[in-house]
Amino acid sequence: MLSTKLSIAVGTMAGTALFGFLFFLPVAGQGQEYDVLIKNGHVIDPKNNIDTIKDVAIANGKITKIDNDIPATQSKKTIDVTGLYVVPGLIDVHTHVFVGSKADKFADGIYSVSPDDFSFKSGVTTVVDAGTSGWRNFPLFKEQVIDKSQTRVLAFLNIAGSGMSGKPMQEDVNDMNADSTAFVAEKYKDIIVGIKIGHYEGSDRSPFNKALDAGKKLNRPLFVECHLPQYSLEDQLQMMRPGDIITHSYEQVSERMPIVDEHGKVRPFVLMAQKKGVLFDVGHGGAGFWFSQAVPAFQQGLAPNSFGSDLHRFSMNAGMKSMLNIMSKYMAIGMSIEDVVIRATWNPAREIKREDLGNLSEGAVADIAVLSVQKGKFGFIDAGGNRLEGNKKLEAELTIRAGKIVWDLNGLAAQPWKQ
C-alpha cells in the first residue's frame, strides 16, 4: 500500500513539474515585460499632447510605454477599454481629510472625511488637503491619515498653528508664525505643497502677510480660502502673486464679493488678476459654487484653473458629490472633455509644483483613471440648491494607483466566473 501511494505521489510530482515546465516555456519565450496593458482606450494626456487612441503599458508601478497597438502577448494582464477615456489619475487640490474623532471640528475631527472613502471611485489618485492642519498638528495628520491612506495625500499647511481647529484658536494671530510654518513645510517638503490662509475675521493684515511670507520663504504657492470678510476681494487679489491660488472662485455669499457683478459681468479687476497669473480654483464645497457665477464667468473667459472639490462632511452628499461630478458640471456648462481633463490633471500638478504627477509620461508613477462618458438626461445642483441640466456624465470605470487596480466599477479587469 505504502509503495503504491509513494509511486503515485512521485508520478504526480513529475507530472506537475513537467506541466509547470511546459507552461513556463512559452511565457518566458514571449517575454511579458508589462504587468498591465490598458488597450484601445482614448488617451488624453495634456502634458504630452496626446488625444487619441493608444495603448498604455505599466510595469513595476510605472508607465512604461504608450504606443499604438502594443501586443497583448507582452503583458501579464490586458484590460480592454474600448470606448473609454484613459487619463492621468485625477488631482483634487482642495479637500479636507484630516479626519479624526473630535466632534464639531475639521482638524482631527469628524467634519473632515477619509480620502480613500471618496477618491478612487471618482478617478482621483491624489488629494491635497487645504490647510486643515497647521505646523503644530501636521505630524498627527501625517500619522493618522496621510501614512495610512492608499490615496496620495499632499497638503497646504495652514498659517494658523493648529489649522482648522475652530474659533477662537484658529484666529489667534499670535499662533500664526511664518518661521514655524516654513520650518515644518520644509521638513515635510515631499508632502506639503504650499501655505493656506483662510478663516480670519479680523481686519489685521498680519495673517495674510505672514502666510505670504511663509510662501515666499519656501517658494511655494499661497492657497487663499474665503472666510476673510474684512479683506476685500480686490485687496486679496492684489496681494496675491502669480501662481497663488484663490478658491471658492464662484461663490455668492455675503462674506466675499462675488467675482460676477449684479449685471452678470466679471469684474475687471478679477480679469486683471487672472492676467497677472493668479489661479482660480473651483473649491465647490457646500457653499462655494453657484451656477449664477460660474456660467457667466465661463462665458466671459474666466474658466477655473483646477476643480478642487472642497470635499468635507457637508459637501459630500450635497451638490458637490465628487470631483468627477464637478467635471461633469463643466461639461454641461460647455467645456470640452480635453479642457476638463487638463484642469483635473496637468494644471493642478503644475499649480502645486508637482510635475511628476498629472501626466502619463514614460517613467511616471502609474496613477491612471479610466473614465466613461454616460449619455442621458442628467441634472447637477449648485450650492444654492439650483439645477443645471446636461446630457453627459463622467463615471470612473477603473482607477489605478501606482500600477495597482484600486477601483473597478464593472469588473473590466476581471474574468467571468465559471460554474
Partner 1 sequence: MMYLKRLLHRFPGRTIYIMLMIFCFFVAGILNAQQIDILLKGGHVIDPKNKIDEQMDVAITNGKIFQVAKNISPHQAKKLIDVTGLYVTPGIIDMHVHAFNGTDVDAYIANGLTSLPPDAFTFRAGVTTVVDAGSSGWRNFRLFKKQTIDRSQTRVLALLNIVGNGMVGRYEEQDTTDMNPQQTAYMIKKLFPEIIVGIKAAHYWGDFTQVDRAVQAGDLANVPVMVDFGEHQPPNSIEALFMQHLRPGDIFTHTFSYGPAVRETVVDDSGKVKPFVFQAQKRGIIFDVGHGGGAFSWRQAVPAMQQGFQPNVISTDLHAESMNSGMKDMSNVMSKFLNMGMSLQDVVLRSTWNPANVIKRTDLGNLSVGSEADIAVFNLRKGDFGFLDVRKTKLKGTQKLEAELTFRAGKIVWDLNGISAPLWQEELKKK
DSSP 260: B
Of 9-17, 165-173, 195-203, 315-323, which part binds partner 1 (CB under 8 A)? 315-323
> Under the criterion CB under 8 A, does residue 213 sit at the interface with partner 1?
no
**How many residues bind partner 1, per CB under 8 A?**
50
Out of 92, 108, 213, 351, name the contact with partner 1 by CB under 8 A: 108
How near is the Cβ of 100 to partner 1 at its closest, in Å? Answer: 5
How far apart are alpha carbons 300 and 294 in whole angstroms?
10
Name residue 289's beta-bridge partners: 250
Choose which of 76, 187, 387, 392 interacts with partner 1 (CB under 8 A).
387
DSSP 314-363: TTTTSS---HHHHHHHHHHHT--HHHHHHHHTHHHHHHTT-TTSSS--TT
- Closest by Cα among 227, 146, 215 to 181: 215
Q: 19 by DSSP, 3-state: which?
A: helix
121 scored as a contact of partner 1 (CB under 8 A): yes
Q: Does 392 bind partner 1 (CB under 8 A)?
A: no
Q: Does 281 bind partner 1 (CB under 8 A)?
A: no
246 DSSP β-pair partners: 224, 280
Contacts of 28 (CB under 8 A, 6+ apart): none
Which cell numbers in the block locate residue 154?
Answer: 499632499
CA angle 145, 147, 149 (to 5 degrees): 65
The set of cell numbers assigned to 87 is: 487619463
How far are the Cα atoms of 32, 52, 100, 153 from residue 70, in angstroms, in the given order?
Answer: 12, 15, 46, 33
Task: Select from 276, 313, 354, 404 the one that contacts partner 1 (CB under 8 A).
Answer: 313
Residue 21 touching partner 1 (CB under 8 A)? no
- Select 194 or 390, whichever has its Cβ closest to partner 1: 390
380 interacts with partner 1 by CB under 8 A: yes
Among 292, 339, 354, 404, binds partner 1 (CB under 8 A): 292
| Cell numbers placing 166 | 475652530
Which strands form 192-197's sheet, in the order they lie side by side?
90-95, 124-134, 152-158, 192-197, 222-224, 245-246, 279-280
Least distance between partner 1 and beta carbon 386 (Å)? 4
The answer to the question of residue 116 lying near partner 1 (CB under 8 A) is yes
Q: Specify the residue, 112 or 236, whose C-beta has the smaller distance to partner 1.
A: 112
Is the alpha carbon torsion for 238, 240, 242, 245 positive or negative?
negative
C-alpha cell read off for 163: 489649522
- The least CB distance from residue 86 to partner 1, in Å, is 18
**Minimum CB distance to partner 1 smaller for 111 or for 200:** 111
Q: For residues 54 and 38, give the distance between their C-alpha atoms in angstroms, rounded to a whole number.
A: 9
Spatial distance between the Cα atoms of 68 and 45, rounded to a whole number of angstroms? 15
Binders in 63-102 for partner 1, by CB under 8 A: 99-101
Residue 61 or 173: the one with the smaller Cβ distance to partner 1 is 61
Among 33, 67, 69, 143, binds partner 1 (CB under 8 A): 143
Residue 48 or 292 with smaller CB distance to partner 1:
292
State the minimum distance, in angstroms, from the CB of residue 107 to partner 1. Answer: 12
Cell of residue 263, nine digits: 449685471
Stretch that binds partner 1, among 48-56, 70-78, 230-238, 373-381 (CB under 8 A): 373-381
- Residue 275 or 377: the one with the smaller Cβ distance to partner 1 is 377
Q: How far apart are CA 390 and CA 378, in angstroms?
A: 5
The correct pick among 117, 172, 234, 339 for binding partner 1 (CB under 8 A) is 117
Q: Does 382 bind partner 1 (CB under 8 A)?
A: yes
Judged by CB under 8 A, the stretch of 155-163, 228-236, 270-278, 411-419 that binds partner 1 is 411-419
Question: Where along the sequence are the contacts to partner 1 (CB under 8 A)?
Answer: 99-101, 103, 108, 110, 113-114, 116-118, 120-121, 143-144, 148, 291-292, 295, 313, 316-317, 319, 321, 377-382, 384-389, 406-419
